[in-house]
Chains A and B, each alone.
Chain A
């Protein structure tokens, strides 16, 4: 009997080709859409195209599965997603940090629950459409970047449990996005020309400020406008409330200055933001919390390549352990190191792990 694979189907082109690939590899496939969010509850209606939990996307996933002759099921994970991802997303902004919900969803929901589902349905593996590769050296499994450097998604996978790697198949890691689209077209997949998905899947209009106000009105009730300060603590102007800003933001600060000003620091305690010129946003050090390793846990100090934002560049750094804290010292100063975002570690193209950026002094 063939081994079973549960394919995560968002209703987009990537997951459709993933399913096609696992069938080609000779597995017995089952398509499953994880329903994570109900759009009509907070902004955007359920019929909106191009959101992976929207009805139209789920319908497309079903059509693709039918074309390939495999069953499709939608499984409801909305409660868990709300608790683990959306509530955290809002709390992080309120704490003055900039969260990365995709990382959290992969780390806390997708992998574990999906593998559980696979076991319940008698399948041995799971497969997703992430642009990254899983390779192994005997028993030792590791993640590598996808070959399409523009699409590489290894950054959002740093938090998944290492022990799930032997059960995970990522069929798109060797392909470029263009190849994936071509495969979909060649196979007449209903999703071949689906547009790229948006940045934050549960915010239909991508306006996180509106979303937070609607989702947690009582939490943001007291966050009124505050002061915008310079690095010496002098007031330069007013702001709309600190949750509306992210570190490194230039547009929408509402100040005129001969040189552009950027948000340098967010202070939720006194509802102020500190702005400065670009040069002042470069830092050579930051702390990291919630570390997860996808290689054997390294010895510290550990020299590694670091990436501090999705689609960002990698730069050399050294991780040291001081007491309970992990500190990263960068070889080159980094622009706008943002608390709440992920810092992800690589050794060449192998994803070695990652963590959440804490404060930077």
Chain B
């Protein structure tokens, strides 16, 4: 490709920060000791992990013992559902969760766990009232994502937490799209579990966190050598933990600047669209800055994606499967959008590395492609 690549898919994953990558590399080379070893070489690794845990717990405002390192969002989500629910328990979740909740929920439903799936409203938000009316005697867990990955809409996590607390029900939120993009003070919300993944905030892939409130007990998913207080066995990924901590520190120091900058870019892009003759709609209300789901009427999302890709520009359409094909974004259909409109909707997510010129190039490309396809 002659032109430089442009990446508008940070909701899928982010490029790792250079500073983070370099730290990961250094730790990999210098701190190879097993953190469980008694010798000093092992202890150095151990201390890197514990220093990271301390820093992360300070940023999130929780206890160090409440931070469990995992391989990422999917594992954290799996730990909660599998570790908490037993036959006869009732789970309340939503119909537009990430597959690591949704497909798991559908599986455990066949194994004797009762599940209520709440649909988002037309703005892409889960209403606490709907959760309240789904609560039953045997409701053990509520699991609602913080930010929907397809729409970028933010759910009223505080209200849902209060509700769960009132009824003495455990509350989990898959927060992978939120953590590292905006400030979160865990002590502000009544929550028992939060899932996080470093690769969504310019950290390494394959590393994440499960926040588990002190005193809440669950069955571990992986048993073994007693790492992570016996809650998640396996030799720790020292370098990635250090990298994740660095990435969260960078995010924490720059939330406001980055948010302001991305908001400006987003407004610029929306302005360009509004002043063009492109028939479109921005979907969802109360969105996280930087994640936009847009319906381009009459233009298949997949076609737009492929055409942009051929010009070196990456956006997202639907939920990609392992074979690389994609189906209409289910989350949009759950909000009541027609299948036809959902097929014409793409996700454009703006990261901190994007400049105004990049937005201009994205807009011009979209305009040219849509004009050509519609002429046909």
Q: List the interface of chain A (C-beta within 8 A of B).
A: 30, 33, 35, 46, 53, 55, 58, 62, 71-76, 119-122
Chain B residues closer than 8 Å to A76, beta-carbon distance: 325-327
- Supposing A35-B325, A58-B323, A58-B324 touch, asked if A71 and B309 sit within 8 A by C-beta, the answer is yes
Q: Does B166 lie at the interface of the complex (its beta carbon under 8 Å from any beta carbon of A)?
A: no
- Supposing A30-B310, A122-B307, A122-B372 touch, asked if A75 and B323 sit within 8 A by C-beta, the answer is no
Do the beta carbons of B303 and A62 come within 8 Å of each other?
Answer: no
Within 8 Å by CB of A121, from B303, B325, B326, B327, lies B303
Contacting A at CB under 8 A, from B307-342, are 307, 309-310, 322-327
Do the beta carbons of A55 and B323 come within 8 Å of each other?
Answer: yes
Q: Does B306 lie at the interface of the complex (its beta carbon under 8 Å from any beta carbon of A)?
A: yes
Do the beta carbons of B303 and A120 come within 8 Å of each other?
Answer: yes
Report Cα–Cα, A71/B326, bound state, in Å.
Answer: 16
Report Cα–Cα, A35/B322, bound state, in Å.
Answer: 12
Report Cα–Cα, A71/B324, bound state, in Å.
Answer: 12
Q: Which of B302, B310, B322 has the most chain A CB within a 10 Å cutoff? A: B310
Q: A120-B303, A120-B373, A122-B310 are in contact. List 4 more A-B contacts (CB 8 A).
A: A35-B323, A55-B323, A72-B324, A75-B302
A76 nearest in chain B by CB position: B325
Do the beta carbons of B310 and A71 come within 8 Å of each other?
Answer: yes
Q: List the interface of chain B (C-beta within 8 A of A).
A: 300, 302-303, 306-307, 309-310, 322-327, 372-373, 376
Contact count A vs B, C-beta below 8 Å: 43
How far, in Å, is B262 (CB) from chain A's closest CB?
28
How far, in Å, is A65 (CB) from chain B's closest CB?
11
Report Cα–Cα, A46/B322, bound state, in Å.
Answer: 10
Chain B residues closer than 8 Å to A33, beta-carbon distance: 323-325
Chain B residues closer than 8 Å to A53, beta-carbon distance: 323
A55 nearest in chain B by CB position: B323
- Supposing A121-B303, A121-B306 touch, asked if A75 and B325 sit within 8 A by C-beta, the answer is yes
- Supposing A71-B310, A75-B302 touch, asked if A120 and B376 sit within 8 A by C-beta, the answer is yes
What would 7 A/B residue contacts be, using CB atoms closer than 8 Å? Answer: A30-B310, A33-B325, A35-B323, A35-B325, A55-B322, A121-B307, A121-B310
Report Cα–Cα, A74/B306, bound state, in Å.
Answer: 10
Do the beta carbons of A119 and B376 come within 8 Å of each other?
Answer: yes
Do the beta carbons of B325 and A74 come within 8 Å of each other?
Answer: yes
Report Cα–Cα, A24/B300, bound state, in Å.
Answer: 31
Report Cα–Cα, A45/B373, bound state, in Å.
Answer: 37
Chain A residues closer than 8 Å to B309, beta-carbon distance: 71, 73
Within 8 Å by CB of A73, from B300, B306, B372, B373, lies B306
Report Cα–Cα, A73/B302, bound state, in Å.
Answer: 10
How far, in Å, is B134 (CB) from chain A's closest CB?
31
Top-3 shortest CB links A-B: A74-B324, A74-B325, A76-B325
Report Cα–Cα, A122/B326, bound state, in Å.
Answer: 20
Chain B residues closer than 8 Å to A75, beta-carbon distance: 302, 325
Chain A residues closer than 8 Å to B302, beta-carbon distance: 75
Do the beta carbons of B324 and A62 come within 8 Å of each other?
Answer: yes
Chain A residues closer than 8 Å to B372, beta-carbon distance: 122
How far, in Å, is B333 (CB) from chain A's closest CB?
15
Q: Which of B302, B306, B372 has the most chain A CB within a 10 Å cutoff? A: B306
Chain B residues closer than 8 Å to A62, beta-carbon distance: 324
A78 nearest in chain B by CB position: B325
Chain A residues closer than 8 Å to B307, beta-carbon distance: 120-122
How far, in Å, is A116 (CB) from chain B's closest CB?
9
Report Cα–Cα, A163/B63, bound state, in Å.
Answer: 70
Q: Which of B309, B323, B373, B376 has the most chain A CB within a 10 Å cutoff? A: B323
B310 nearest in chain A by CB position: A71
Chain B residues closer than 8 Å to A72, beta-carbon distance: 324
How far, in Å, is A271 (CB) from chain B's closest CB?
37
B305 nearest in chain A by CB position: A73
A53 nearest in chain B by CB position: B323
Report Cα–Cα, A33/B322, bound state, in Å.
Answer: 13
How far, in Å, is A272 (CB) from chain B's closest CB?
43
Report Cα–Cα, A215/B323, bound state, in Å.
Answer: 23
How far, in Å, is A94 (CB) from chain B's closest CB?
29
A30 nearest in chain B by CB position: B310
Report Cα–Cα, A233/B323, bound state, in Å.
Answer: 53
A47 nearest in chain B by CB position: B322
A56 nearest in chain B by CB position: B323
Report Cα–Cα, A46/B321, bound state, in Å.
Answer: 12
B300 nearest in chain A by CB position: A120
B320 nearest in chain A by CB position: A74
Chain B residues closer than 8 Å to A55, beta-carbon distance: 322-323
Report Cα–Cα, A121/B307, bound state, in Å.
Answer: 6
Chain B residues closer than 8 Å to A30, beta-carbon distance: 310
Chain B residues closer than 8 Å to A119, beta-carbon distance: 376
How far, in Å, is A123 (CB) from chain B's closest CB?
10
A61 nearest in chain B by CB position: B324
Chain A residues closer than 8 Å to B323, beta-carbon distance: 33, 35, 46, 53, 55, 58, 74
